[in-house]
């Protein structure tokens, strides 16, 4: 681990502790621990676990110049920090490469989250050349039938596989080390292939992160959603067997980013979803306490500049009208033990 990585890790841990203290005390002690840019809500997937593509947002997206200014103001406020660029599908913005280059040039540690559908060899070279730290690609089936069924159209597996191969082929040309992470949503359709996905990632030298299926993104909240979902896992013996295999792969060197404890928690989630639903939807598995850290740690930027703590809350400000530090310092923080959203 480099000195820069060590310093970043220490700062991150300290900020998380301050976030917990802010949550308990009601004081504004910390800065955002998670900065996410939803560059556009347009999407070229038709995923079964997401309703974003069904909605006509009709929002006016920030211009290139507005994004560049917003990044500069974030850098002036936060120093060097990690930031995720996502969507919708972020690569549908033709200026994304320019924006990513600018972010990297400011010292921001950039992760790009994409479905990879439009990443051919030429675009892969451009992505790698930006110097971003990580590309995360959605990879939800080891076979075309499984991935395509989940992602909504025939041919998606082939296009995502092309993107993975192109990025892997060119990543050595990056001015900085480039991590490639595959993200797999555990659901009934890909359950038999979880270990096969793990073996694929290990063979390619890719990081891999699993997350369990949750309520559809952008859906109206419904506590009983899983009872009606065809993606919910009911075959718990097969789930346990697959999780056991993933733990073996991890122990043998596969770069599975989930801890062994977290993998075990996935089984408990599908056994008793009500007990872990809030943690899963907040992506805080393993954290004690009912209150959601998003209220004091997340800075989520929509394509039009609106800033939220999480995607379900109302905006707390807009970057075309205010600076990020002003939005953060004047925000009304959520103090509900059990989130009303």
Q: What is the pLDDT of residues 222-270, one digit of tens each?
A: 888 899 999 999 999 999 999 999 999 999 999 999 999 999 999 999 9
Q: Which helix (H) or strand (E) holds 256?
A: none
The residues facing 36 across adjacent strands are 84, 300
Which region among 14-18, 112-116, 124-128, 323-327 has the lowest average model confidence (pLDDT)? 14-18
289 has a pLDDT exceeding 70? no
What does the alpha-carbon distance between residue 107 and residue 135 come to, in Å, rounded to a whole number?
17
Q: What is the mean pLDDT of residues 203-219?
A: 89
Residue 103: HSE in the Cβ half-sphere, 13 Å Cα cutoff? 32
Which pLDDT belongs to residue 278?
64
338 has a pLDDT exceeding 80? no
Q: Residue 62 contacts by C-beta under 8 Å, 6 or more apart in sequence?
A: 70, 303, 304, 305, 319, 320
Which pLDDT belongs to residue 7?
44
Report pLDDT digits (tens) over 39-53.
998 999 888 888 777
Secondary structure (DSSP) of 2-31 = -HHHHHHHHHHHHHHHHHHHHHHH------
pTM, entire model: 0.88
**Stronger pLDDT, 277 or 254, i.e. the higher one:** 254
Which pLDDT belongs to residue 15?
64
Give the per-residue SS3 of 35-53. EEEECCCCCCCCCCCECHH
Which pLDDT belongs to residue 196?
98
Q: What is the mean pLDDT of residues 110-137?
A: 97
**Stronger pLDDT, 16 or 55, i.e. the higher one:** 55
Give percent of the chain with pLDDT exceeding 70: 82
Q: What is the mean pLDDT of residues 76-84?
A: 94
Report pLDDT digits (tens) over 291-337.
566 667 789 999 999 998 877 778 989 999 999 999 998 876 654 44
Q: Residue 96 contacts by C-beta under 8 Å, 6 or more apart in sequence?
A: 39, 85, 90
Q: Which of 12-26, 34-48, 215-229 has the highest mean pLDDT?
A: 34-48
- Mean pLDDT for all residues in the chain: 87
Which domains, ranges and CATH numbers included, belong to the chain? 3-19+29-330 (3.20.20.70)
Q: Which helix (H) or strand (E) holds 184?
A: strand 179-186
Q: Structure tokens of 19? A: 């976030």
């Amino acid at each position: 681990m480099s000195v820069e990585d060590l310093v970043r890790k220490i700062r991150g841990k300290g900020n998380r502790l301050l976030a917990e203290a802010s949550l308990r005390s009601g004081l504004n002690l910390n800065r955002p621990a998670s900065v996410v840019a939803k560059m556009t809500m347009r999407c070229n997937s038709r995923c079964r676990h997401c309703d974003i593509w069904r909605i006509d947002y009709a929002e006016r997206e920030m211009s290139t110049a507005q994004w560049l200014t917003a990044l500069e103001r974030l850098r002036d406020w936060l120093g060097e920090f990690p930031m995720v660029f996502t969507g919708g599908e972020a690569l549908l913005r033709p200026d994304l490469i320019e924006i990513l280059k600018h972010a990297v040039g400011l010292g921001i540690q950039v992760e790009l989250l994409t479905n990879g559908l439009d990443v051919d060899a030429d675009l892969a070279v451009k992505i790698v050349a930006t110097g971003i730290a990580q590309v995360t690609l959605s990879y939800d089936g080891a076979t075309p039938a499984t991935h395509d069924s989940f992602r909504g159209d025939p041919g998606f597996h082939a296009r995502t596989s092309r993107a993975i191969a192109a990025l892997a082929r060119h990543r050595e040309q990056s001015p900085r080390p480039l991590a490639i992470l595959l993200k797999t949503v555990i659901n009934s359709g890909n359950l038999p292939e979880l270990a096969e996905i793990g073996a694929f990632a290990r063979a390619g030298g890719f990081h891999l992160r699993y997350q369990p299926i949750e309520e559809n993104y952008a859906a109206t909240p419904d506590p009983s959603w899983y009872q009606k979902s065809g993606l919910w896992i009911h075959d718990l013996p097969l789930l346990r067997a697959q999780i056991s295999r993933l733990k073996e792969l991890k122990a043998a060197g596969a770069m599975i980013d989930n801890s062994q404890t977290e993998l075990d928690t996935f089984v408990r989630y599908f056994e008793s979803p009500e007990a872990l639903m809030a943690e899963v939807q907040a992506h805080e598995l393993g954290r004690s306490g009912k209150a959601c850290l998003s209220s004091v740690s997340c800075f989520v930027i929509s394509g039009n500049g609106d800033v939220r703590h999480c995607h379900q809350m109302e905006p707390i400000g807009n970057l075309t009208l205010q600076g990020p530090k002003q939005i953060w310092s004047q925000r009304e923080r959520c103090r509900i033990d059990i989130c009303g959203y």
